[in-house]
Structure 1
């Protein structure tokens, strides 16, 4: 028995040894190494390394739902409007021997109706509460490449915020009369330490989301702007420190103006300019996060740098018709002599943000501007064409209350008041949006005002 038992144990041991030797010769199937996404803390929260690279990426965005009601000046006009907007931000940064290489783009999709119609691109333009519209219940959608630029050391190239702008509607739901434009540019920024920097930028006003080109008018002749020889030249000097920020900026713009008149036909070059100064003050002595913006600007032949587009604004005196040309232009041409005159203007902006609690804040804001257009346009009064000097003055004031129950979510309401005054009376629009002569039932108006309210729910991530 012992002999049999010894033979069986020996055989089992031999088989195990042979099997182990054969197993050692089989190919190994180890799991591939896993490359985990790593947090990139060099540029703030939300950045992570793109696997396999040294580039840090942040993906963010916004969804906004907004609703407004306002003064209704025409039976064919809606007294309300709705807006839905989606935004996607992509920010990629890489540390190099020459400094940070940054690529950023922002893309927006917007659907708007009613009082929002006509301002669906970006966040630009005054939304005139009560502007006469001849169609009701209309909606429009738009895709907007808001920003797309490359920054490499001191160079900024692509579509970016104008370096002329300072307070560019950073707060509030509504927009003020202020320079706020994203456009194609090529800029160089020099930094001097202690928060000081200076920038020179070549900016293509024809690609801007804000209206920088307001054209030319002539009461009795066909005038227009021709091609330009170079883009706008913008320069700014800026300081950013613990107390806040300050900036002084200027712009030079060129226009080639043609005129087909009674005694003069030809074209000539004209130069316009704008200057602006602003300060942003941090007010932690009131509450954490409190901020005050103060800004002033002046323009000569470049009213777009004040935030003025091609129309006057709110209410029954809001837009141009053949009988009553309420338009804003940078230059006018005398049809007899061919001489040109530039339009001038100035504006003041003040905005304050105050936190009542860390979750509850308010913003008080306002802008005031005056234009001297230096031209008269034909307005039909009693059926007879007569020149009218308009020179508008505009006041915009508003306030809001915003609750942020969780990080990235804003729920708020805002009230906006706008008043426009003209130097001369013009024909008011009727309920159909037309401006009939006095003899046909029309009436004159020198000033008008409007009020609107907004409710917004917005999520940023």
Structure 2
């Protein structure tokens, strides 16, 4: 038995030794190294390195809910409206020998109802809300920003370099240039916060229209002639000089562009062909007021435009006037007497103030006043065709809010907006059934509205 036991143990040991020798000859598989996401501190909070690259990425966004009520002028109008908006930001930056290479994308999805939707025809589909930028009914998408910055060059869809205040308070709704356009720009920096930019900007791609009204009536010419917009040979040229320092910032900007028009619909004017120069100029200053409270600031801005009303912040192609219907806005008209193109002109002033009552409670107040000289009678709307001369609207807007930020990134606020509008000539009155009736002379109106916004930035 001892001999058998010894043989069995020896055989097992031999088999184990052979198996071990064969296993030693097999290739071994090492565990892949784990590459952890690293924080990137070169460009501020929230950036991290994209694994396997030297590029830093930040993903952020916003969700906003709005609820607005306004003054109703007709049974065909809603007295309220809602808006839900989701925003996604993607920011990628890479350090190079030529400076920072940055790529930025902002994409938005918005759902509008009621007074947030754009009206059709002479009447508003919603109540008259001062300063409200209306959108399409239902859900719409928007590529708000998409640009590349490489050293001094900015290319893609970006904020117009003409803009300064650009609704900086976020809640206020006052008349100011605030456009995202396709552009190609070069910015030179001189130190001490000074910079200068020259930008080629495509007005046809703007979220705020540069061409306000494609079909308009001639001066005193009721319905038999109209002006149409022709092609453009070059984009608008925008230049700005800016300074950003500890006390605040200031900017002087200008824009010049080409506009072509032709008359149609009347034999006497069929040969009219106008090639006009449109231009605008704007100056603004922001003054930080830390002596009042941390984050306090005052904005002042003034602008003038000739043939380019979009640079004053007049968006869309019509001005909703509640009882007064909709006045068609246009950058120019063709004078049937002289056969020449008459540019529309206008100017505006803006003032805004932000004050923190506590670190989590702030108030923002903004106001704007603007006047337009249109030089034509709006024959597209029967109510305004009754006016003996151009209407030349004058508008005063005032917005104020109270915003509570209980936690970082969350804003809960209420806003009140007031509007006063005057027109030069009396126009017809719309009754409660949205039918033209007593042709009473109406030259001005006031309206007020309120909003509740809940917004989370992350």
Could you state the TM-score of these two structures normalised by the residue count of structure 1?
A: 0.88
8 Å CA contact retained: 2:189, 2:196: yes
3-state DSSP class of the match of 1:361? strand
Between the aligned partners of 1:84 and 1:19, the Cα distance in structure 2 is: 69
Cα deviation for residue 313 of structure 1 reads 3.7
Q: CA deviation at 1:139?
A: 4.1
CA distance in 1, matches of 2:173, 2:415: 12
Change (3 A) 1:234 1:384: closer
1:282-361 matched pairs, under 5 angstroms: 282-309=288-315, 310-319=317-326, 326-361=327-362
Provide closer, same or farther for how the CA distance between residues 401 and 336 of structure 1 changes in structure 2, counting only shifts above 3 A: same
SS class of match (1:434)? coil
Q: Is the 8 A contact 1:128 1:314 kept in 2?
A: no
After superposition, the CA RMSD in angstroms is 2.8
Residue 380 of structure 1: how far off its partner (Å) = 6.1
> Which moves more between the two structures, 340-349 or 198-207?
340-349
- Please list, as runs of the form range in 1=range in 2, the aligned pairs for 1:147-296 lying within 5 A after superposition: 147-215=145-213, 217-218=217-218, 219-220=220-221, 221-260=225-264, 261=266, 263-264=268-269, 265-296=271-302
Answer yes or no: is the 8 Å Cα contact 2:366–2:399 preserved in 1.
yes
1:375: which partner in 2?
A: 376
Secondary structure, aligned partner of 2:311? helix
Distance in structure 2 (CA, Å) of the matches to 1:214 and 1:128: 21
Residues 429 and 435, structure 1, Cα contact 8 Å, conserved in 2: yes
Judging changes above 3 Å, is the alpha-carbon distance between structure 1 residues 61 and 327 closer, same or farther for their aligned structure 2 residues?
same
Question: Contact 1:314/1:418 (CA < 8 Å) preserved in 2?
Answer: no
The 2-side partners of 1:160 and 1:459 are apart by: 23
**Distance in 2 (alpha carbons) for counterparts of 1:375 and 1:16:** 104
Q: CA deviation at 1:212?
A: 1.0
- 1:118 match: 118
Alpha-carbon distance in structure 2 between the residues aligned to 1:18 and 1:339: 104
| Aligned-partner SS, 1:388 | coil
Match of 1:123 in 2: none
Could you say which residue in structure 2 is the equivalent of 1:457?
Answer: 454
CA contact (8 A) 1:369 1:395 kept: yes
Question: TM-score, with normalisation over the residues of structure 2?
Answer: 0.88
In the alignment, the residues of structure 2 paired with residue 103 and residue 24 of structure 1 have an alpha-carbon distance, to the nearest angstrom, of 52
* Bigger shift: residues 177-186 or 262-271: 262-271
Distance 1:328 1:393 in 2: 13
Counterparts of 1:84-103 in structure 2, within 5 Å, are 84-103=84-103
> Deviation digits for residues 417-455 of structure 1, max 9, x if unmatched?
11111111111222233333xxxx342211011111101
Q: Distance in 2 between matches of 1:318 and 1:297?
A: 27
Find the aligned partners of 1:269 and 1:153 in 2 and give their Cα distance.
36
Structure 1 window deviating more from structure 2 (89-98 vs 333-342): it is: 333-342
Instruction: Specify the alignment match of 1:407 in structure 2.
Output: 408
The whole-number CA distance in structure 1 between the counterparts of 2:19 and 2:377 is 105
* Superimposed CA distance per residue, residues 237-273 of structure 1 (whole angstroms, 9 cap, x where no aligned partner): 0111111111000000211111244644220211111
Question: Deviations along 1:322-357, whole A, 9 cap, x unmatched?
Answer: xxxx22222122113202222211111111111111
Contact 1:131 1:314 in 2 (8 A): no
Shift of 1:414: 0.6
In 1, Cα distance between the equivalents of 2:280 and 2:329?
A: 16
C-alpha contact 1:380 1:386 (8 A) present in aligned 2: no
SS in 2 for 1:206: helix
Please tell me whether the aligned partners of residues 100 and 150 of structure 2 are also in contact (alpha carbons under 8 angstroms). yes
Residue 62 of structure 2 aligns to a residue in which SS?
strand
Unmatched 5+ stretches in structure 1: 120-126, 133-137, 320-325
Change (3 A) 1:89 1:384: closer
Map 1:59-70 to 2 at 5 A: 59-70=59-70
The C-alpha deviation readout for 1:200-242, integer Å capped at 9, x for no partner, is 1111111100021124541422222211111111000011111
Contact 2:377–2:385 (8 Å) recurs in 1: no
Deviations 1:346-398 (A, max 9, x none): 111111111111111110111111112233445868x9955223111101101
- Aligned length in residues: 438
Is the CA contact 2:80–2:126 (under 8 Å) kept in the aligned structure 1?
A: no
Give the match's secondary structure for 2:319. coil
CA drift at 1:130: 1.9
Q: Does the CA-based 8 Å contact 1:86-1:110 persist in structure 2?
A: yes
8 A Cα contact 2:378 2:385, kept in partner = no
Specify which of 429, 440, 443 is matched with residue 440 of structure 2.
443
Q: Which residue of 1 aligns with 2:390?
A: 389
What is the rounded CA distance, in whole Å, between the counterparts of 1:172 and 1:128 in structure 2? 23
Counterpart Cα distance in 1 of 2:6 and 2:386: 128
The alignment status of 1:27 with 2:31, answered yes or no, reads no
